[in-house]
Amino acid sequence: MADDLKPTPARPRVRRGYPLAIAATGALLMFCAVLPWSGWQATSNLIDAGVATDMRGIDHAFGVYTLMAGLVALGCGLAGLLSSRPRLAALAVVPGGVALPLVLRYPPGGGGLHDLFAFELGDMISIAPVIRFGWFAALGCALAVVVLSVLALLRRS
């Protein structure tokens, strides 16, 4: 009975905030690869209407690679979360660093350099490639993975 009254030695508290944030951001990066990244938009002032088409990130090779980078970042975050060494999550800086140039080099409109130009015929019709919200979200998630990984590495024990 006297043993029950003795205080137990305190275990050092392991912080799991950064690995959890890296895992969540990696999952968001995977989700962003499925969102629309670009498209074409045709508008006409003559009839005051427009037509748009969207292209998802995974419809292009860069989007598929970004999806895989998000999966690896999720794995790194989970490894840091589930292991006794939360700094393992800092390895996610590699897939995050790979995803950044992939998202930045993604071509609007889904094609090459010729797709970067808009076509206008006075006020009658205008056709141009556009960047959609999924591209911005993927760029933000890739940047967040890199920043969180660096913060997980630099945090004090």
For the segment 94-111, what is each residue's pLDDT rounded down to a tens digit? 999 999 998 988 876 445
Helix (H, G, I), strand (E, B), or coil: what is residue 120? Answer: strand
Which residue segments constitute the domains of the chain, with CATH numbers given? 16-154 (1.20.140)
Q: How far apart are CA 70 and CA 37, in angstroms?
A: 16
State pLDDT tens for residues 54-81: 888 888 888 899 999 999 999 999 998 8
73's tokens: 């970042």
Please name which of 81, 80, 76 lies closest in space to residue 145, comparing C-alpha atoms. 76
Ranges of residues in the chain with a pLDDT under 70 are: 1-15, 108-119, 156-157
